[in-house]
Amino acid sequence: MRVFASSARKTPRLLGLGLVVSLGVLSGGCEGCQKKTPVDDIQAGDAGLRSGVKVPLPPGWSAQVATDGSFQAGPPGRPALRVDLKPGQGARMPSSETLADNVRQQMKQFTLSLDQEEDTLSFALLRVTMAPSLADGGVGPEAPAFFGARRVGDDLFLCASLPGATAEEVRLATEACRTIQVQAAPR
């Protein structure tokens, strides 16, 4: 992988492919990647994927639940984080190495720079900087991205930054994924 300094510039090609990759890496395929999913707004305080699931959000972020069941959150007007719940699949939590292999496989037309890998018993993280490889042999503008997996009990939460996220939003989205919790139901 080649390493380049980060840039805040984005291109439509980079953003569109980033969304496909985010969804593809999360789902292990690309189900639903071809169309934009309508979402319903919810209050940040109610930002759960299902009853008892809490995704702690940075101040000022809002949350949405898409019709496909994914959770999306970010600053006003645009999501920067996507989370997909895989009930009962906690034992299948991928390592950061597996996440990296999936990203490399799906991002062959991009130059990737590995920024961070992290593995614990309940969390795996891959942060990268990516830039489209151009036909003339050069590279286009760079963008930050992250892919993560969080195991909580028997459940697996797959996380990814969404296209257009800034480096700071990627960092905040990473921390939100890292701190996903499931609270016991009230009795």
Residue extents of the structural domains in the chain? 12-182
In sequence order, the 6+-apart residues with CB closer than 8 A to the CB of 29 are none
Q: In the chain, which stretches have pLDDT less than 50?
A: 1-21, 23, 27-49
- The pLDDT value given to residue 163: 92
User: May I ask the CATH class of domain 12-182?
Assistant: alpha beta
Please report the pLDDT score of residue 183 as a whole number. 82
Instruction: Say how far apart CA 80 and CA 163 lie, in whole Å.
Output: 7
Closest CA to 90 of 67, 124, 116: 124
- In whole angstroms, give the CA distance from residue 76 to residue 125: 25
The whole-angstrom separation of Cα 64 and Cα 32 is 17
> For position 60, what pLDDT does the model report?
96
- What is the biggest distance separating any 2 CA atoms in the chain, rounded to whole angstroms? 63
The candidate with the shortest Cα–Cα distance to 20, out of 35, 5, 6, 40, is 35
Task: Provide CB contacts within 8 A for 141, sequence distance 6+.
Answer: 7, 9, 10, 11, 14, 131, 132
- The sheet with strand 62-66 has its strands ordered as 39-42, 62-66, 71-74, 81-86, 155-161, 143-152, 123-132, 110-119
**pLDDT at res. 4:** 33
Q: How far apart are CA 164 and CA 19, in angstroms?
A: 9
Residue 187: predicted pLDDT: 64
Predicted confidence at residue 5, as pLDDT, reads 34
